[in-house]
Amino acid sequence: MYKKRRVMVTGSGVISPVGNNKKDFWDALVQGKNGTAILTAFDPSKFTTRIAAEIKDFDFSKHFSSKEIRRMDRFVQLALVAAREALADSGMDLTKTEREKGGVLIGSGIGGLHTFEVQHSTYLEKGPSRISPFLIPMLIVNMASGEVSIELGLKGPNSCVATACASGNNAIGDAFKLIQQDKADVMFAGGSDGCLTPMGFGGFCACKALSKRNDDPKGASRPFDKERDGFVMAEGAGVVVLEEYEHAKKRGANIYCEIIGYGMSADAYHITAPDPNGDGAIRCMEAALSDAEINYNEIDYINAHGTSTVLNDKIETLAIKSVFKDHANKLMVSSTKSVTGHLLGAAGGVEAIACALAIKEGTIPPTINYKYPDPDCDLDYVPNTARKAAIKSALSNALGFGGHNATIILRKI
């Protein structure tokens, strides 16, 4: 049996619909500034949903050369932006870190869909000879991890996770285990997705997953509210620097918090709908608590998956009540997707950062747009206004299409 090494969060980077860096992102969460608006990436007039949470006022040309922009899909560019901020935030000098003990694990739910659509149009209009030689390396899901490792020169564990909306949490959880088991000292981990494209958006419209509040974009993402009608599709990336405790301590790192638990499970029920009894989510949270070696009543805050869909919010609430029993009524639960929209494979990375900042700042970001209580959703969702609170331990849920569930637990040190 290996000796478990302690794993710290020492850096974070975000690009999101409500902020293109960690500070602006956190300020927007605390202030409840919603990022949803009428979609501008393409003409949405023919779609049943016409709203989304897009990245705003961000000039990619200031971060990448024109050649890099042509040869990297949007989700890779987003991951690199977040990873660069995470590195700067950590204050780490990578020349003093053993490169073979530093790695990258960035997940994505969909990967290079933008590239695929553009190149498919090129094929139809101009023939196969005009397909870009960079098509495959641009669209494959592992390329966010690949490009980050190339740029940072990290030669240790390098992988990616593609478990739909659980991708970010799985990536962070897997990276946590690599450090805990002495397979790495430092890991850049999180998630990235940038698939607000006609086909990607149209696909979610077709499966009736998106909110149709086109006349009220700011009020569309309303997790746990009785009048919720679907999620708001979003884009972005969230990357954390995970570091072994002694490694971080030796260099005097600024530590946000410690990751102490990771659980995952499968619903084994349906390709999109959650198990109606919450079985998968229940076992996932229980596995994370067991891994963390803490009791359920030691959790103070849950950053819920909270997508604003009718089934997810009801069943996640049911699962929380099952796991936390009498303590469920004392828990603070919020969904930051009410502010950011649903960042798909990037959600777990971004929400892990929200948890780390909540612990460090002693502030719970609210669930905004909460107006009409639902009897099936009867927990304390920190409605509409941020709340000052001392948080010792926080749990973050991610529940993906295909029945993929991933939970991580973070603790104040």
Q: Which of the residues are catalytic?
A: 165, 305, 342
Coil/strand/helix, residue 232: coil
- What is the number of other CB atoms lying within 10 angstroms of the CB of residue 249? 13
**H or E stretch covering 27:** helix 22-31
In whole angstroms, what is the distance from residue 284 CA to residue 267 CA? 10
Here the tokens at position 206 are 């077709």
Cβ-Cβ contacts under 8 Å for 138 (sequence gap 6 or more): 71, 72, 73, 76, 112, 115, 132
Q: How many residues does the chain have?
A: 413
Strands 301-303 and 393-400 come out as: parallel
User: With the C-alpha atoms ordered 195, 79, 10, 295, is the resulting torsion angle positive or negative?
Assistant: positive
Burial (CB count <10 Å: 0-12, 13-18, 19+), residue 84 = middle
Residue by residue, DSSP assigns 138-185 as: HH-TTHHHHHHHHHHT--S-EE----GGGHHHHHHHHHHHHHHTTS-S
Q: Using alpha carbons, select from 290, 304, 279, 242 the residue that is nearest to residue 87.
A: 242
- Amino acid present at 235: E
Rounded to a whole number of angstroms, the CA Rg of the chain reads: 20
Residues 6+ apart with CB under 8 A from 62: none
Q: What is the largest CA-CA distance in the chain?
A: 64
Nearest to 193 by CA among 230, 228, 167, 222: 167
The torsion angles phi and psi of 308, rounded to 5 degrees, stand at 85, 15
Paired with 393 in beta bridges are: 411
Q: Which residues pair with 12 in a beta bridge?
A: 240
